[in-house]
Every structure is written in C-alpha cells, then in structure tokens.
Amino acid sequence: MSDCPGKVYLIGAGPGDPGLFTLKGKRCLEEADVVAYDALANPRLLAFAKPDAELIYVGKRGGAHALPQEEIGALLVERARAGKIVARLKGGDPFVFGRGGEEAEDLVAAGVPFEVVPGVTSAVAAPAYAGIPLTHRDFTSTVAFVTGHEDPTKADSGIAWDKIATGIGTLVFFMGVGQLAEIVRKLVEHGRAPETPAAVIRWGTRADQEVVTGTLQTLVERSRGMKPPALIVVGEVVALREKLRWVERKPLFGRRILITRAREQASAFAQVLEAAGAEVVEFPTIRIVPPESWEPLDAAIRRLREYRWAIFTSVNGVRFFWDRLTAGAKDARDFHGITVCAIGPATAAALLERGLRADLVPGEFTAEALVEAIGSEDIRDARILLARAAEARETIPEELSRRGAAVDVVPAYRTVKNTSDADQIRAMLREGKIHAVTFTSSSTVKHFLDLVGEEAQALLQGVVVASIGPITAETASRYGIVSQIVPEAYTIPALADALIRHFRPAGV
C-alpha cells in the first residue's frame, strides 16, 4: 500500500463539447486541489474546480509545449507527494493517443496512487457529430484507430499498412493532417480503392467544426489548408454523412456565444443555447454576494407582519431573502395578509418553489410596469417591503413613495465585479471567434466594459449584442454599444429564443 498522501486522477476531458464530459470526471474535478489541463480540454470544464484549486496549463499548441512531457510527470508526482488531490485533465480519452499510459507509468514508479477516468474519445465523437457512423451493418463491422504521427525516433513504422488497408472497414487517423498525402499513398499502394469515401474533420463537436469529404483520390486536394487538430476517417460509412449530418442542421450550429451573467445563474441559459447547437463561452462579469450586513434584512423579516405589500425584483432577491427567513424560524405562512409582487415569471417561479404564490406579476417585466400594475391599488400609508440588490434603479421606491406609500428598501444581496481573466476573451474577440455577446442586466454591461477595457467597444464591432430588455440595452447604448437583439419579453428563455431566431439559417 502506498504511503503517498495524495492521489492523481487521469481524466478524459472529452472531444470539446462540455456536454460530453462524464459525471465521474466532474466529481473528480470538484474534489481536486490541483488541476493540470491540456490545450484540447474545454476551458468551461475548469468551472467545476474548487474556487481555490491551483490551475496549471500544461498544453501544447503548434508543437510548442507549455511544459515538456517529463516535467508534467514530475509535476503530478510532486503535488501528490505534497498531499494534494491532482486532476490531470486531458483532451479526449487519456489512454487513446493521449500519453496517459506514460503518465500512469510515472506515477507507478513514484508510488503515487492514481485512477483513470475515461473520456469520450474524439475518434468516436467527431465522426458522430459529422454524421458518420464508424460501423454500420450494411457497410462494415470493423474499425481501427491509427496514429497519423508516429514517434519520429522509431526506425520502422509500427503500422501494418498491408493489413489495415484492406483488412479494416473504417480507419480513423489521429494527428494525420500533415501526413494526409502519405497516408493516402500508403493505403492505395497496399490495396485500398482510390474511390473509397474519406473525410477530414477539424475541431469535431465544437462551434468551429469543419468537415471536408471526398475520396482517397480527391481528399488531399479538397482539404488543402486544413490544420490540426483534425481526424481523418476512411471507409464506405463516410458516404452516409449527407443523409445523417444532424448537428449542422441546428439553428445555432457554428455560433459561439458569450454569456456574461454570474456563473451560478448561467447554466440554464447555456443549456438552451447548447441544445440549439451553439458553443457557449462563460465570462461571468458579476458575482452575487451577500449584503455588507444582514441586519437590515433580518430586522425587516422580524417585523414582516407590519407590511401590507412585499415586492421581489429578482430570483436572487428571493433566494437570499428566503435564506434569512428560514434562519429566522419563519416560512411562507408569515406572509399571511401580505400582497406579494414579483417583477417577472422567473421571480414568481422562485417564490412558488418556496410555497408562496405571487399575487401580482406585471405583463411587462420592468420596474415601470410593476409600479403601473400596483398603481390601481390604494397604497396610501401602506407599508411596503422591497427586497432587492443593494444597487438598483430607484424607480420603484420613488414612484410608490410619491403615491403615499412608506417603502422600506432592504438590500438582500449585492452584485460585484468578478475577477474573470479577460485576456482570453479579448483574444477571441480580436480573432472573430465570438459571434454574439449577451447582457442580462445593466451591471453585466458595466462590468464587461470594465474587465475588457478601453478597447471593448471596438472589439464588439461585428459581434451581435443581445440585451435582455430595454433598460439593459439603454445602458449599453450609453457606452456606444448597439443591441441588435432585445426580446419582447424580458426573460432568459425569450433572450435565448431571440438569439435562435436571429441566427437561424433560411429553411431551418
């Protein structure tokens, strides 16, 4: 039994689409003290790591290693011996051309306990997203994964070209784009028909997935200019692509959309966009945190029965309010006799989840609409509780006070600027890799501009800007940013639907 106090997980990050990451991989990332990740691991997976986890980039781009392979092995051993739980996050599957076997050998030699967490290999996922089944009862029952880039120090090829050329129905070559002409030559030379269908798939499962098809005779010319990372698929099954290409028919296929809302709120929005084919980039510009003091909110809760009205303007307000309500040994029954208002359906749904049905939800989800909806009621001398963000527009308390109500504005939470690293986002915007940016509140606009810096407006030229409602769009406009998308209903589902309609190709 090892006396090493730490442990290493060799985790397959999958092919790129974060939805293909495994549940066990997620659990191991959540447990890890150190995460050493590759270039092909989707950065969104790092959100599963603990806030205080040490994140170390050890990837390779264009032949340039952030850390040589032997140093990666030494890093894993050193951190584990220091008592750390280490997650080694590798693109695809760690044991399929991922050098995971070599890293596992290093760990065994050092007496470090480890586990392997398989990932969805790109050899399976990329063809599937291109509409190419690797086996099919009408075409072939055999498939082989082959490296297209053998160890250059080997004297002879370890690939039995004479056997795989005609003995295997479907061939999938990793890392072979630079050697495509040589691969084709060897296959044809050893008996594979030049008319055999073939494809090159670049960035499979991602927004910039690119697929070129042809035959062994034509593929080299057709795929000229294709760069790594890419797979080569050879076999009769490639001909099924025209019939089975499914992901490219999704309305947001090929679109990369930036989400700026707080990370804890982004998942539902991201899921809708990803279901429509988009690749989501999370750039949380704000964090939702407690108010500087709980005392004003706790005091309001203690005298809850004194209020005739209670107004909630966000899901966050409901969440934080309810946490303190529960801490004060109260529940929904304490709202008896109080008229409850919610600014929109999401806020109303959050209340209902906690056993409280909103009496009033305006047809338009703005402060002005809520004031107008309340306006028909007699609120003179009525005491009203408004639980909201510490910083917000004063429309509601000012208008209700003007009509004779006594409004207690109580901070239930604060939105503060997140410490997101903007370098990658700036680079992606410069390179045209972001197709749309979404803003879900005025604070996300302000903090996006603050984080990205003075070139933000210029970087957004040519990018579709989607704002959740007119107030957010107006804030963006004050900074010179035009919102091309503003949904009629000011909700996250409506914003997602508006993005889908905007980008939907004709006939889809």
Domain boundaries, the chain: 7-119, 124-247, 256-285+418-503, 290-414
Does the domain made of 290-414 have the CATH classification 3.40.50.920? Answer: no
Full-model pTM:
0.81
Q: Which CATH class is domain 124-247?
A: alpha beta
Q: Where do we find the tokens 């990837």? A: 59
* Cis peptide upstream of residue 229 (ω within 30 degrees of 0): yes
Tell me if residue 366 falls in helix, strand or coil: coil
7-119, CATH topology level: Cobalt-precorrin-4 Transmethylase; domain 1 (3.40.1010)
Q: Is 175 a catalytic residue?
A: yes
Give the DSSP letter string of 40-101: TS-GGGGGGS-TTPEEEE--EETTEESS-HHHHHHHHHHHHHTT-EEEEEESB-TTSSSSHH
Burial 455-471 (b: 16+ CB within 10 A, else e): ebeebbeebbbbbbbeb
- pLDDT tens string, the chain, 508 residues long: the values are 578 899 999 999 999 999 999 999 999 999 999 999 998 899 889 989 998 999 999 987 555 566 788 889 999 999 999 999 999 999 999 999 988 999 999 999 999 999 999 999 999 999 999 999 999 999 999 999 998 876 545 556 789 999 999 999 999 999 899 999 999 999 999 999 999 999 999 999 998 899 999 999 999 999 999 999 999 999 999 999 999 999 999 999 999 999 998 776 777 888 899 999 999 998 888 888 999 999 999 999 999 999 999 999 889 999 999 999 999 999 999 999 999 999 888 899 999 999 999 998 887 777 777 788 787 677 888 899 999 888 877 888 888 888 888 999 999 998 888 877 788 899 999 999 999 999 998 989 999 999 998 899 999 999 999 999 999 999 999 999 999 999 988 888 999 999 999 998 765 5
Q: Is 1 a catalytic residue?
A: no
Architecture of domain 256-285+418-503: 3-Layer(aba) Sandwich (3.40)
Contacts of 258 (CB under 8 A, 6+ apart): 281, 283, 425, 434, 436, 437, 438
Could you say which of 175, 417, 428, 497 is catalytic?
175
Could you say which of 38, 93, 106, 408 is catalytic?
38
Q: Is 162 a catalytic residue?
A: no
Q: Where do we find the tokens 């989800």? A: 365
Q: Do domains 256-285+418-503 and 290-414 have the same CATH topology?
A: yes
Could you say which of 60, 186, 330, 417 is catalytic?
60
Kind plus residue range of the DSSP H or E element containing 384: strand 383-389
Please report, in angstroms and rounded to a whole number, the separation of the first and last CA atoms in the chain: 59
Give the residue from 419, 424, 22, 13 showing the smallest Cα distance to 258: 424
Length of the chain: 508
